Amino acid sequence: MLELALHILDIAENSTRAGARHVDIHLKEDPGHDLLTLEITDDGAGMDQETLAKALDPFYTTKKVRRVGLGLPMLAQAAESAGGELILSSEPGKGTRLKVTFGLRHLDRQPLGDIAGSLVTLIAGNPDIDFTYCHECQDKIYLLSTEEIKKEIEDVPINHVEILKYIRCHVAEGMKEIGSEA
């Protein structure tokens, strides 16, 4: 995977499988400290200490259909090759929090990629889960909350094609407005 947007899609899918009701995605660009921080927080099942310790092992998975679990290890590798790190914390019954840092201007940092597309895919596939996407760029903030959109559209499903198109445009415009460089 060569784009952070794909990693976000992949990791957030883990949250949805852990039974999360809310998934919070937070990106922060800090050119002053040459830092890009990605945080994904969910209120899913969480992991005990033993599972947590093994989660970054590519040969550990809870699935029965195959013997590898590459999602988190690949993100950890992407962070480490860009001068950052991946920190995973979790509490059974409460949820999981993932924090990944990257050198913002590091040559090997993967580009952000198509964030709008990733969010649309997440929302289309998991209409019952509430996602928030917050992107901070210096002192400007872009925020997308599916909870607020749902309030506005009432009985129209959030995975309706027209709503997904609206979300895609909303994200693209918002990212442009805050001057995201990543």
Partner 1 sequence: MAKITIEDLKKIKERVHAETALRDGHLRVKVTVHMGTCGIASGAKEVMDALLREIEEAGVTDVAVTTSGCMGLCSREPLVTVEILNQEPIKYEYMNSNKMRQVFKRHILEGEIQNPFVLARGAETQK
Q: Taking the complex as a whole, how short is the minimal distance between the CB of residue 79 and partner 1, in angstroms?
A: 16
Tokens of 68: 């590898």
CB 8 → partner 1: shortest distance, Å?
Answer: 10
Instruction: Write the single-letter amino acid at 45.
Output: A
| Out of 126, 130, 133, 142, the residue judged to bind partner 1 by CB under 8 A | 126
Q: Which of residues 82-121 bind partner 1 (CB under 8 A)?
A: 114, 117-118, 120-121
- Of the candidates 35, 4, 32, 180, the one whose C-alpha atom is nearest the C-alpha of residue 102 is 35
Nearest C-alpha neighbor of 40 from the set 126, 125, 133, 129 = 133
| Binder of partner 1 out of 94, 147, 165, 179 (CB under 8 A) | 165
The span from the CA of 60 to the CA of 37, in Å, is: 26
The two tokens of residue 145 are: 């909350």
Tell me how many residues contact partner 1 (CB under 8 A).
Answer: 39
CA distance 101 to 80: 9
> How is 76-131 classified by DSSP, letter by letter?
HHHHHTTT--EEEEEETTTEEEEEEEEETT-TTPPP---HHHHHHHHHHH-TTSEE
Task: Select the span of 44-52, 77-85, 137-145, 160-168 touching partner 1 (CB under 8 A).
Answer: 160-168
Site track 43-82 with partner 1 (rule: CB under 8 A), x = hit: --------------------x-xx--xxx--x--------
Closest distance to partner 1 from the beta carbon of 92 (Å): 21
Binding residues (CB under 8 A) for partner 1: these are 1, 5-6, 9-10, 13, 17, 63, 65-66, 69-71, 74, 114, 117-118, 120-122, 124-126, 149, 152-154, 156, 159-166, 169-170, 173
